[in-house]
Amino acid sequence: MGSKIISGILLMFVSFIGYTLSLPDYYPRNWNVDIKHYYFSLKLSDTSDIIFGNAAIRVFFSEKTDSLVLDLVSLNEEGVGMQVENVLLDEEEVPYSHRNDQLIITPATPFNNGAEITIVILYSGIPADGLIISNNKFGERTFFGDNWPDRAHHWLPTVDHPSDKAGVDFIVTAPEKYQVVGNGTLIEESNRKDGMKLTHWHEPVDISTKVMVIGVSRFAVKLSGMVRDIPVQAWVYPQNRVDGFNDYAPAVMILNFYDTLIGAYSYKKLANVQSKTRYGGMENASNIFYYENSVTGQGTVDELIAHEVAHQWFGNSATEKDWHHIWLSEGFATYFTKLYVENFKGKQAFQLQMIKDREGVISYYDKNPVPVVNTEIKEYTRLLNTNSYQKGSWVLHMLRYKVGYANFINGIRYYYTSCKNSNALTEDFKNAIEEVSGMELDSFFNQWIFNAGHPELNITWHYETKHNELIINVLQMQEFIFEFPLDIGINGEIYTTRISKRDQRFTFSQSKEPYELILDPDTKLLFEAFIEKK
């Protein structure tokens, strides 16, 4: 998907196994619609929370279609929400209905197969969510987009789902005291005679609505550095500019690390923004928002930055097609943060974090015995859980050792290249790793992603002096039988066993009785175990 700016439009702005889900919900409607580009013209003020919007949306139809359905929150009884004033097609008014948070546009003549049209929507209202209008920690008024998972339609008419990605322009008119940051590159910043400023950001790369945002505030802005030809910037509140510039500076090194490790960065800039996001960080494309207290001057948020920058590849460029495959975003960002730690802080720091995460996964499973891809979850914020983050990260870690590091990294690069600026399901990632490694990975993904739980081992051992033999019994206690390698440290040597049955017995020749057995000494396996000498 791609686009060019249509002349005339800007004038209007300025004056499983198979690994696919049965009955997938990733495109419940609009399956024959492809949004090509959004042009959002927004007017903001300090006298009211009402926003005035003019949205021009380029749409392609792959089949003859009677109506176009967009997501846009309706006006409620309290006067909050959006009210549509007019819908235009070819400068002519078009019939529409706006209720139950859906804008249904129904022209007299159906949209033809292969048609590409531009719909213009004039609307206004007070957003209850999505665009957060509030005061920052210093008491100053700010406006920050915060769309994840599907909150963009509180303030923008969209197909508010990650499976339909598009380019986006934001043309924002706001009081001139504010700076405006947005996706993509800055096209225009012009002060007007009426005390207002027009700012235009243009992102030609297809991104999902969850990461299309603006930030409007008084900012101090600094160029932190360059990675290839990509400017890395810090946008922070003026009151803490020195601390903010210091805290966000590691983004340059981190962007370079991932750009080298994974593949070319998809966007033309990376802005790191102090904001009012409800999350610790929100990975908006080329335009990351961090919680406002991330600025301390202590330089301690490098791992948060690493996580959000990793999302620029995984979640933003290669985007999960279905919400329930969010581990392709959060699990990847979590593990690539660990790779950052391994490379810059050492193996011991890396392993300690993996051990801590393993404990968290085990604890989470005790109360939530569900798989990583859990289609039962309908409230999408509940997908921000330990399975999506830490267990997803652990799956990548085990995959690294299963296929070997070179195959793992090359497979990651192949997956990213194949799905760059597009969408993916777990099957697509599996296929990419299989293609590079030459290994069949159905059972691996089935047991770790689509099955709940992990190996729960009861291990007993004894030493037979007469035969100089160490006898180890491994019993899988959980219902589902996993297959996996288990490393055991014995008398300074590491032995790898292959576990594939409920109850297995292993014999090792040893000249002396071991003082203890060390399970998984190099931290390669997600498991828990009770070990006892008989």
Proportion of the chain above pLDDT 70, given as a percent: 94
DSSP annotation of 73 reads P
Evaluate if residue 138 carries a pLDDT over 80: yes
Distance CA 46, CA 169 (A): 23
- Summarize the confidence of residues 215-240 as an average pLDDT: 98
- Summarize the confidence of residues 201-206 as an average pLDDT: 98
Burial string for 421-435 (b: 16+ CB within 10 Å, else e) reads bebbbbbbbbbbbbe
What pLDDT does 31 receive? 76
- Summarize the confidence of residues 182-192 as an average pLDDT: 98
What pLDDT does 10 receive? 35
Please tell me the pTM assigned to this model. Answer: 0.93
Q: In the predicted model, what is the mean pLDDT of the chain? A: 94
The one-letter amino acid at 394: W
Cα distances from 174 to residues 9, 52, 57, 455, in angstroms, run 20, 11, 22, 56
Asked which of 31-35, 50-54, 154-158 is least confident by mean pLDDT, the reply is 31-35
- Summarize the confidence of residues 386-393 as an average pLDDT: 98
For 456-533, CATH number? 2.60.40.1840
* Range 219-312: architecture per CATH: 2-Layer Sandwich (3.30)
What pLDDT does 421 receive? 98
Evaluate if residue 240 carries a pLDDT over 80: yes
Tokens in use for 50?
Answer: 């009402």
Per CATH, domain 1-215 is 2.60.40.1730: yes
Distance CA 14, CA 41 (A): 8
Give the E-state strand segments of 21-162 in sequence order.
33-43, 51-61, 68-71, 81-89, 92-93, 96-99, 102-105, 116-126, 131-135, 141-145
What residue has token string 């706001």?
A: 174
- Summarize the confidence of residues 321-343 as an average pLDDT: 97
Evaluate if residue 18 carries a pLDDT over 60: no
Proportion of the chain above pLDDT 90, given as a percent: 93
Half-sphere exposure of 218 (CA within 13 A, CB side): 14
Give residue limits of the domains in the chain: 1-215, 219-312, 318-450, 456-533
Give one DSSP letter per residue of 510-530, joined into a string.
-SS--S--EESTT-----EEE
The one-letter amino acid at 293: N
Residue 29: pLDDT band with limits 50, 70, 90: low
Phi first, then psi, for residue 528 (nearest 5°) are: -135, 150
3-state DSSP assignment of residue 230: strand
Evaluate if residue 410 carries a pLDDT over 60: yes
Q: Check if 1-215 and 456-533 are the same fold.
A: yes
Evaluate if residue 22 carries a pLDDT over 50: no
Evaluate if residue 8 carries a pLDDT over 70: no
3-state DSSP assignment of residue 321: coil
Q: Residue 256: exposed, middle, or buried by beta-carbon count in 10 A (0-12, 13-18, 19+)?
A: middle
CB 102 within 8 A of CB 150: no
DSSP annotation of 503 reads E
Evaluate if residue 212 carries a pLDDT over 50: yes
Evaluate if residue 25 carries a pLDDT over 70: no
What pLDDT does 4 receive? 30
Say which CATH superfamily domain 318-450 falls into: Neutral Protease Domain 2 (1.10.390.10)
